[in-house]
């Protein structure tokens, strides 16, 4: 019995030494981590404002008849897209001519002319929902009395629509002057959008 008790004590002692050894071994096997300094990097990102237009019809034809208003051969689909900053309040689309007296001309030495006031535009989803003459004056958009505001799109943080697009159809007519000579008449209508 005495021997058995001694053996138990010896066994417990051996187990204690083994556990202590393992703890000591583990303490040396996994030292505390070492951390480096922590430099920082400043990030700077810029998204520039942009506004763009695309049209899917590059020409419109008219069969003129004296003293008659005639429709163009097709509507002009116009897609306007924008990326703006939050201080903007609107996007506007204008159509205009370089001259109010000569929107279209036959190109002769002494030319016969169709004035911009005889060219009519309509955008049912925009501002001129009925046919209206290109006879407005908009600073920076064509000659005096040769432009037409086609739409105004409100820009607001309530919506929010600082990034957006829209597609509108511009319908055109020409009110043919009564005494216009026969001929082939050409002109250029310019479209341009502006963010305010």
- Predicted pLDDT at 136: 98
CATH of 50-195, one of 2.40.50, 2.60.40, 3.40.50, 2.40.160: 2.60.40
- pLDDT of 75 above 80: yes
Report how far residue 157's alpha carbon sits from residue 79's, in angstroms, rounded to the nearest whole number: 22
- Predicted pLDDT at 17: 52
For 101-151, the pLDDT digits (tens) are: 999 999 999 999 999 999 999 999 999 999 999 999 999 999 999 999 999
pTM for the predicted model, two decimal places:
0.80
- Predicted pLDDT at 6: 57
- Predicted pLDDT at 8: 58
CA 123 to chain CA centroid, nearest Å: 20
Strand segments, DSSP code E, in 30-162 are: 50-55, 69-71, 76-83, 90-96, 104-105, 113-114, 119-122, 132-133, 147-154
């Amino acid at each position: 019995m005495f021997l058995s008790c001694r053996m138990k004590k010896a066994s417990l002692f051996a187990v204690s030494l083994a556990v202590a050894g393992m703890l000591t071994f583990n303490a040396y096997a996994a030292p505390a981590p070492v951390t480096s300094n922590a430099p920082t990097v400043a990030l700077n990102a810029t998204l520039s404002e942009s506004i763009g237009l695309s049209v899917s019809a590059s020409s419109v034809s008219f069969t003129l008849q004296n003293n008659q208003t005639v429709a163009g051969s097709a509507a002009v689909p116009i897609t306007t897209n924008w990326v703006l900053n939050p201080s903007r309040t609107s996007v506007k689309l204008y159509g205009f001519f370089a001259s109010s007296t000569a929107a279209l001309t036959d190109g002769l030495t002494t030319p016969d002319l169709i004035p911009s006031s005889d060219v009519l535009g309509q955008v049912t989803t925009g501002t001129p929902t009925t046919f209206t003459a290109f006879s407005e004056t908009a600073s920076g958009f064509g000659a005096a009395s040769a432009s037409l505001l086609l739409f105004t799109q409100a820009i607001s943080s309530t919506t929010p629509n600082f990034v957006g697009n829209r597609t509108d159809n511009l319908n055109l007519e020409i009110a043919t002057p009564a005494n216009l000579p026969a001929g082939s008449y050409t002109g250029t209508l310019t479209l341009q959008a502006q963010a305010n």
